[in-house]
Structure 1
Amino acid sequence: MAQFYVNQNQQSNGDHEVHQEGCKFMPFEKNLLDLGGFTDCSDALDEARNTYDQVNGCDTCCPDCHIT
């Protein structure tokens, strides 16, 4: 089970990006919302949608959940 976080600062396109712990593009800790532990990124994105309408997986650490 991996730990996931969502960036509370939205990207220029409005996305709030979901990251897996250890990602080299992890935002500053003060900008992270802890989503909890999940077996895959799709469950983490579902959890992030409870807070933000527009979420996307990080292309680097969550490629299976990244929508271009």
Structure 2
Amino acid sequence: MGKYYYVNTKAGSAGVYRVHTAHCPSLPSLNDRFFLGTFYAPLDAIKQARKYYAYAEGCKTCCPQRKNKEKIIKNQSVTTIMPSC
């Protein structure tokens, strides 16, 4: 079963809106959050939040994004495209 996800309706200091699971210790109060839905993966919840807030990111505690993995994948695709000498 998926988890319930919420987005903070108030941006943080960097203008980022954080996505949280229902049981996150950093979950905002009822007045400061919006229910996104039930999702199996945090990335799906973040994509949903970006429909409302362009600068939405996952909470570092409950749904961190895998930026390093994305960079590795990009580097691998670039490596395969470049011709060998």
Who wins on radius of gyration, i.e. which is larger? 2
Structure 1 runs of 4+ off > 6 angstroms? none
In the TM superposition, residue 66 of structure 1 has moved relative to its aligned partner by 6.6
Instruction: Give TM-score, length-normalised by structure 1.
Output: 0.91
| Aligned residue-pair number | 66
**Does 2:44 match 1:47?**
no
Q: Percent identity?
A: 35
CA RMSD of aligned residues (A): 1.2
Higher helix share: 2
**Does 2:21 match 1:27?**
no
List alignment gaps of at least 5 residues for structure 2.
68-85
Instruction: Give TM-score, length-normalised by structure 2.
Output: 0.74
- Higher RCO (CA-CA < 8 Å; seq separation 6+): 1
List alignment gaps of at least 5 residues for structure 1.
none
